[in-house]
Amino acid sequence: MIKKIVFSALIASGTILGSTTLPAHAQEMKDDMPSSRMGMMRHGKDHAMMMAALHGTNLTKEQKEKIKTVMNSAEEQIKPLKEEKRAIGKKIAEGLTASGAVDQAALTALAEKSADLSKRIEMAKLDCGIKMHDVLTAEQRTRVKTNLENMEKLHEKMQSLRKEMHETMHGNSSKN
């Protein structure tokens, strides 16, 4: 049991230390991008993931400007859709927790509208991705693909670690 905890702590520290390079890369991109609005907190996780994926692609100034334009345009398109989707989610929650009978027809209509908004958000993300693809060279796209694969491996490692730590803490591990 102690070995598992120590092992988990070592993996966690290595994972955490290893992942500290992503924000540094994002900062490097921020400094290179011609905008003061490149903060990850303001733009969200999709933006932060793309910034990390672009690390090491050696973008030209022209490419950086085009990518900035594409990402800002996508953000302007997606932000109101996400806000509307959140508002619909609140209305659904209110409808499900209200006293009295549930208005199934109204909630179904809200759920359908939420699904439509989700589709529109995903299509806007796809359009952004296609436009960014067209800005990058073949070599840069290969680097982005490698970066995304590495981020996915890191994500899987973190998920596995979380599961192992949960099992260790709650004593329901089948590995005992």
The string of DSSP letters for 30-57 reads: HHHSS-S---HHHH-HHHHHHHHHTTTS
Confidence class for position 172, pLDDT limits 50, 70, 90: low
pLDDT of residue 37: 39
pLDDT in tens, 40-80: 444 567 777 777 888 888 999 999 999 999 999 999 999 99
State the Cα–Cα distance between residues 21 and 39, nearest whole angstrom. 16
State the Cα–Cα distance between residues 21 and 119, nearest whole angstrom. 33
Average pLDDT, the chain: 79
Lowest mean pLDDT among 25-29, 37-41, 145-149: 37-41
pLDDT: is 73 or 33 the higher one? 73
Q: Where are the domains of the chain?
A: 1-57+151-176, 60-135
Answer yes or no: CATH 1.10.405 is held by domain 60-135.
no
State the Cα–Cα distance between residues 132 and 123, nearest whole angstrom. 14
State the Cα–Cα distance between residues 45 and 27, nearest whole angstrom. 14
pLDDT of residue 43: 53
State the Cα–Cα distance between residues 176 and 173, nearest whole angstrom. 6
For residue 111, is pLDDT > 70? yes
pLDDT: is 3 or 78 the higher one? 78
pLDDT of residue 55: 85
Residue type, 8: S
State the Cα–Cα distance between residues 119 and 129, nearest whole angstrom. 15
For residue 28, is pLDDT > 70? no
| Residue of 9, 81, 89 whose CA lies nearest to 46 | 81
Residue 27 tokens, joined: 């900062």
Distance from first CA to last CA of the chain, Å, rounded?
Answer: 8
How buried is residue 66: exposed, middle or buried, by Cβ count under 10 Å (0-12/13-18/19+)?
middle
For residue 18, is pLDDT > 50? no
State the Cα–Cα distance between residues 12 and 158, nearest whole angstrom. 8
Report the pLDDT averaged over residues 110-129: 95
Residue type, 97: T
Report the pLDDT averaged over residues 1-19: 46
